[in-house]
Structure 1
């Protein structure tokens, strides 16, 4: 018999028992109800009629025979009693009552018609009527007692029968409750135990097959699966070992330090270069909690600090770490990548850990340093002659050394513009060299955003006129002061405005807006233009040094250093500079500055 049939039979049996007990209980209740109704209809009704007869007889005894009201009530009660004779001996009493009542009516009739021979009262006659009435009441009272006792016996018997049926139903239900779930769960226990063994790589724990129910079919299928898994495991174990050894060999021979940390921040992979940089053997790294190891290792503590930064807030440029190696400073570029795994069983992406790589960029750093030194030297060497050239061009333009004709004046003007361009380029190169060397000085002080914006707006007015552009300022006066270097911040804002003017069509507006960020800790300034916009693939590239992107405005572009320097200035002040743009709708450059502490403000 299969499990479904067992469960169905159990429920059908319990349902039949419930219906049987309910039906017998209803039968017993109906039987007791009928008995009670018969008692009320027969005996109790006769007792009530007897009480009515006694009250009417009292009235007859108190009144003279000329008063017929009491006699009328007595006759009515008697007539009803004569029609409700139900007990043995009751009919004889009713007959005697009828005889006595007839005599009493004769006395009353003779007295009323004056025929004589009738006494004024008939105490002996009324006494006999009263005795007979009491006897009739006593007969029905005794019948009530007998029937009540019989009803009680019947109720007790029916109660015993109902209790017996309930006991049988309860025991049967308990039998099913204890046996049917066990039959349903027993197979599941065996299946669960076998699955646990299989999860622990033990494919020998098969399910014993008993009977032909559903669990037996599942057990046969599961045992076949175990055999196939064991076969698959045996056939693929060698391949897996070979693949693992291949991956291990690749990891160990990487020229970069590699750390793999799982979602529980436990180190599971550390190649030899990473072990050498951390100055710890594999035994002290693999399988150990990263935070516990980092308590005694400064480098690992620095690496773990980058794991706490959300992926969306990590800087696009990987951080550069300086690590002492063989008595010399070496430079390593840190890369942190989240490992996301698609769980097919749950049909969703799951985070499983981080991959940290340390790439040795010491040679690139040396080359970059040499480039920076060269740029700084060349910039300083060029600034003096260019300044001298600019001075002499001003002399020629003012005519102090002689007048110039129109053609000569145009040549001098062109030379002056090109010389100014070279001077700006040299100044930007000097700023870049200072930023790289860390020698740039910042003068932090509480500053009103409105003052910075107004100064930049006043300074840029002359550049707005050729294209007939206008500025739209939205800077609330209630903004709190910011902690910033006024000179550097103004330079950034002027650079953004110059770019907006350069790429804006004629007769357009440039919007400058300032507002407090949602957390209330920073103020956000934005410059919005209505130019051609920037394609998404170039929106981060424009902040790189010497970056040039194609545009449709015909502008050949500057040195490609302005936005790079602007980002460095803002970052060094604790803010961020970015852009949001779509082709054909313009661009919005925005940067943030921290709010000045109240003590400083």
Structure 2
């Protein structure tokens, strides 16, 4: 029996265990579901019908026409839902009493009889519900017992299989590994002996033959050269990522199996071939050698593997050396390495979609909470004491903070999916600064921070997305006001230089250490010891500015405040 057959039988056994446990579980779940549905249909609906009849019996003296009509409807439904022993006789008697009330003057004794009959039907169905519930409980108890017994037996069987079967496969592999290590240490007398009548026995024969051949070539120079070459080829082929090597003449000297499979070429079609010639008929290979003038290229490469789009990062490494007695470095070629990042890209896309969905779903309840907080603070609704006013204000501030976080997450998802939509129109620096200053006016006044503006010149026009550019400036101003001391000053400067217009926001806050400056525009990064936030504002600002062809950066010294700047092209 082959190893493949043994493994298939083992997997089939485990699959049968899963099917057995799952099937029994589904069976008992279906039984419990059926019992519950029977209780609901057979008995609970009867309780509802008789309850409606009792309710309408109280209206016989005030609105008899409507009461008789409702009672007739409920009684007819009850007659169609007779399920318990004795219920039909009670329902028939109830019909007689109802007809007597309907066609003759209403007698109080008939009304009492009607109510008594309804209560008797209810009592009969309540006892039936209790009885069926006890039956359901017994079914559940039996299901638990059977599942525990069968699950225990299957677990023991599976556990025994797991303990024994891996060793059956792994032990020969471990022995083969030890023998291969001996061969690697040039102990060519090493031999394998498997008496199993399967692939391992064939492998042992092939291994022994290989060891004999290696022993023959051990002392020859050719064998040493071939050994080194094969060792390098083995290392390259064992690599899980595609690797392609080009010599100084741009010919392909090696490509591992992963690379050949990715390019959908045969080894003869690529090895020892001139790279541009191969690229003529292979778009993927053409994209791989496109930037051969760069030592490193981390660009993303997309390729279809097994009918699925895969993403790779590409790295091109120059290979050179300085010969003995020479000063100039000789170029030996380059190596192109690809790393499959499909799983990371899929996870990143899933994360982005999750953030976008959650943020979008939070907007409606947050808007409702903001409205409720405003209504509570409105004196026209009702007055609040000091403690209630404080709590309501805190609620409003927290809801506002959550709303800001939600909007930033939505902007982040837009940025990460590459769906930044720019609406570029002619704008003036004054318009951007005025909108931003007005947006933070209340925050500045509450902290007694003065916002000073200097624009040179104010009337020049340039193309930009007004909303996104203003959003970035508002984010700068908000951060500057937050970190400025009471009665501090925030300076906004707008200047033109080298064909660019720059907006700078300077504060006199505590400043930022130099080691954190380069990380300020990373997503979710926050300088240690600063007030809590999302860490998204500056990252989104960077994307908005760079999408318009601009630059963004920061300067700061601890104890001397910080300056945040973004620049946009004038043309």
Q: What TM-score, normalized to structure 2?
A: 0.52
Q: Alpha-carbon deviation of 1:394?
A: 0.3
Query: Are positions 1:592 and 2:570 aligned together?
Result: no
Query: Are positions 1:560 and 2:545 aligned together?
Result: no
CA contact (8 A) 1:390 1:416 kept: yes
Q: Distance in 1 between matches of 2:436 and 2:303?
A: 43
Q: Distance in 1 between matches of 2:458 and 2:263?
A: 51
CA contact (8 A) 1:497 1:527 kept: yes
Q: Distance in 1 between matches of 2:554 and 2:301?
A: 28
Q: Distance in 2 between matches of 1:283 and 1:255?
A: 21
Decide whether aligned partners of structure 1 residues 394 and 479 sit closer, same or farther in structure 2, where only a CA change above 3 A counts: closer
1:109 alignment partner in structure 2: none
Q: Distance in 2 between matches of 1:339 and 1:564?
A: 37
Farther-moved stretch of structure 1 (455-464 vs 562-571): 455-464
1:514 alignment partner in structure 2: 495
Q: Alignment partner for residue 274 of structure 1, among 259, 263, 267?
A: 259
Query: Are positions 1:432 and 2:412 aligned together?
Result: yes
Query: Are positions 1:386 and 2:372 aligned together?
Result: no
Q: Alignment partner for residue 442 of structure 1, among 422, 431, 441?
A: 422
CA contact (8 A) 1:575 1:591 kept: yes
Query: Are positions 1:258 and 2:243 aligned together?
Result: yes
Decide whether aligned partners of structure 1 residues 399 and 480 sit closer, same or farther in structure 2, where only a CA change above 3 A counts: closer
Farther-moved stretch of structure 1 (283-292 vs 396-405): 283-292
Q: Alpha-carbon deviation of 1:495?
A: 1.2
Q: Alignment partner for residue 283 of structure 2, among 295, 298, 310?
A: 298
Map Cα deviations across residues 69-99 of structure 1 (whole Å, 9 max, x no partner): xxxxxxxxxxxxxxxxxxxxxxxxxxxxxxx
Map Cα deviations across residues 438-463 of structure 1 (whole Å, 9 max, x no partner): 44432122333343234323433433
Q: Distance in 2 between matches of 1:482 and 1:288?
A: 53
1:150 alignment partner in structure 2: none
Map Cα deviations across residues 301-339 of structure 1 (whole Å, 9 max, x no partner): 44455566797xx8xxx5444322222222223445667
Q: Distance in 1 between matches of 2:346 and 2:320?
A: 36
Q: Alignment partner for residue 396 of structure 1, among 376, 401, 416?
A: 376
Decide whether aligned partners of structure 1 residues 236 and 420 sit closer, same or farther in structure 2, where only a CA change above 3 A counts: farther
Q: Distance in 1 between matches of 2:331 and 2:497?
A: 34
Q: Distance in 2 between matches of 1:547 and 1:386?
A: 25
Q: Distance in 1 between matches of 2:270 and 2:452?
A: 59
Higher-Rg member (1/2): 1
CA contact (8 A) 2:242 2:257 kept: yes
Query: Are positions 1:366 and 2:346 aligned together?
Result: yes
Q: Alignment partner for residue 572 of structure 1, among 512, 534, 547?
A: 547
1:546 alignment partner in structure 2: 524
CA contact (8 A) 2:241 2:337 kept: yes
Map Cα deviations across residues 51-71 of structure 1 (whole Å, 9 max, x no partner): xxxxxxxxxxxxxxxxxxxxx
Q: Distance in 1 between matches of 2:435 and 2:360?
A: 29
Farther-moved stretch of structure 1 (453-462 vs 491-500): 453-462
**Secondary structure of 2:528 counterpart:** coil
- The unaligned stretches of length 5 or more in structure 1 are 1-233, 597-601
Q: Distance in 2 between matches of 1:470 and 1:354?
A: 59
CA contact (8 A) 1:526 1:590 kept: yes
2:198 alignment partner in structure 1: none
Query: Are positions 1:491 and 2:466 aligned together?
Result: no
Query: Are positions 1:459 and 2:439 aligned together?
Result: yes
1:221 alignment partner in structure 2: none
- Could you say what the CA RMSD is over the residues aligned between the two structures, in angstroms? 3.9
Farther-moved stretch of structure 1 (448-457 vs 426-435): 448-457
**Secondary structure of 1:402 counterpart:** coil
Q: Distance in 2 between matches of 1:435 and 1:457?
A: 25
Corresponding residue pairs, total = 352
**Secondary structure of 2:240 counterpart:** coil
Decide whether aligned partners of structure 1 residues 396 and 462 sit closer, same or farther in structure 2, where only a CA change above 3 A counts: closer
- The unaligned stretches of length 5 or more in structure 2 are 1-218
